[in-house]
């Protein structure tokens, strides 16, 4: 299959995640075009068999480029198999309210753009103080201290479950290819 992968990543974890997926797809014999959504420009999605879009949550929103892309290409995306990778720290935990908030953000994006993702994968991201400015460090330290008391607040910590991600992508691909 030929897959388009577009992503938005503020601190780099979504980029790491989509690169991992792209490598895996290529290893399995698929062809992949991987691009940051901010740099895509006009793209002919009819050249692809399926699309994966990824973006991360910051203060309850995805990056604007995700909405802009989904809005522009909603009709085409709705006509092909798609996955939305929603990367967040809420997905690392089991807080029901946090998970409801994730559902709401996706519904809002879908309502606003018209894109109905064929599959949504909630992917746990990372705590990356090495990438934060002083204000973000202050805010995120407080959140992580509450959500993950075992974390060393001075060091980056990855919550992404790579095995679960691989299994989810493989399952989607096997459904999509049949």
Interface with ligand FMN includes 21 (CB under 6 A)? Answer: no
The piece of 39-47, 72-80, 81-89, 166-174 that touches ligand FMN (CB under 6 A) is: 81-89
Shortest distance (Å) from residue 90 CB to ligand FMN? 3
Taking the complex as a whole, the smallest distance from the CB of residue 73 to ligand FMN amounts, in Å, to: 21
Cα 141 from Cα 103, distance rounded (Å): 25
Residue 153 gets which letter from DSSP?
Answer: T
Q: Is 57 a residue that touches ligand FMN (CB under 6 A)?
A: yes
Pick the closest to residue 89 from 159, 164, 6 (CA basis): 159
Residue 61 DSSP code: B
Least distance in Å: CB of 116 to ligand FMN?
22
Q: Is the CB of 58 or the CB of 64 nearer to ligand FMN?
A: 58
Classify 156 in phi/psi space as left (phi over 0), alpha (psi -120 to 50) or beta: beta
- Give the nearer residue to ligand FMN in terms of CB position, either 32 or 85: 85
CB 54 within 8 A of CB 5: yes
Match 């095995």 to its residue by tokens: 163
Binding mask of the shown chain, residues 105 to 144, with x at each position contacting ligand FMN by CB under 6 A: --------------------xx-----x---x--xx----
76: left (phi over 0), alpha (psi -120 to 50) or beta: alpha
Q: Which residues bind ligand FMN (CB under 6 A)?
A: 9-14, 56-60, 87-90, 125-126, 132, 136, 139-140
């Amino acid at each position: 299959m030929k897959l388009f992968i577009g992503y938005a990543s503020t601190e780099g974890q979504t980029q790491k995640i989509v690169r991992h997926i792209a490598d895996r797809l290529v290893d399995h014999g698929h062809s992949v075009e991987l691009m940051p959504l901010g740099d895509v420009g006009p793209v002919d999605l009819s050249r692809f068999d399926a699309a994966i879009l990824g973006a991360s949550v910051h203060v309850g929103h995805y990056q604007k480029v995700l909405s802009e892309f989904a809005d522009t290409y909603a009709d085409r995306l709705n006509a092909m198999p798609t996955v939305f990778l929603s990367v967040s720290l809420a997905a690392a935990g089991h807080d029901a309210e946090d998970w409801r908030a994730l559902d709401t953000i996706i519904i809002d994006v879908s309502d606003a753009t018209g894109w109905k993702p064929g599959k949504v994968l909630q992917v746990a991201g990372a705590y990356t103080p090495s990438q934060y400015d002083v204000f973000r460090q202050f805010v995120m330290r407080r959140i992580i201290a509450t959500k993950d008391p075992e974390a060393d607040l001075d060091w980056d910590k990855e919550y992404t479950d790579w095995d679960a991600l691989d299994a989810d992508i493989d399952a989607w691909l096997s459904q999509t290819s049949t």
